[in-house]
Amino acid sequence: MMNWFKNLFKNKGQKTRTKPQPRTASVPKANLDSSMKNVVLNSSMQFRFEKGDMTDDSPMEATRDVYATKDVENPGVYHVSIKNPEDDTYVMAPKAMKIAKNEGVKITLEGLPENDPDNRWNSDFSDYGIQFSMNARSTFTGQPGVANLLLKDRDVLITYQ
C-alpha cells in the first residue's frame, strides 16, 4: 500500500490533509500526444480538494468516465466531459479546451476563454482545466490512469483514478 494512502486514513480526524503526490517513475509514454483523437479514463475512485484541503468525504468510490474528444472541425480543440456510466448522465457537460502543456507522461488542457479565436461556442471555459497522467495500468490500456480536474473559479481539484 502506498505511504500517502496509509497516512490519509491515519490522519482521518484532522481537518487539513494535503494532496497526495502522484508516482511517476517508469511510467510509459503511451498515447498522450497531440495526434490522439480521443482519451477516456474509466474511474472508480475520486478525491476532492477544496482550497488545497481534502474534503471529509474523500476518497470516495464513484464510477465516472472522463472524456477528452477531439473537435471534428478544429483538431486543436478537445471537448472534455465527465459522465456517470451507470445512467449515462453528464456529471460535467462538455467544455472546450486546448492542450496547454505536453510532458510526455502527462498532458494538460485548459479551457478556452470566450475571446479565443477557436471558441465558436460563445461561452467562457477558462475556469476549467484538466491534466491526464499515465500510470502503470496505462501500459495495458493505452489510456491515462489519472485525471485531475481543476475548477479554478471554485479552487477545487478533483482527482479521478
The answer to whether the beta carbons of residues 115 and 133 sit under 8 Å apart is no
pLDDT tens-digit readout, 84-115: 999 999 999 999 999 999 887 888 999 999 99
pLDDT tens-digit readout, 137-157: 676 667 778 999 999 999 999
Q: Is residue 141 part of a domain?
A: yes
pLDDT tens-digit readout, 10-33: 444 444 444 444 433 333 333 444
- Its pTM surpasses 0.75: no
pLDDT cut 70: percent of the chain above it = 73
Full residue range of the structural domain in which residue 104 is found: 31-160
Q: Is residue 4 part of a domain?
A: no
Q: Is residue 115 part of a domain?
A: yes
- In the chain, the number of structural domains is 1
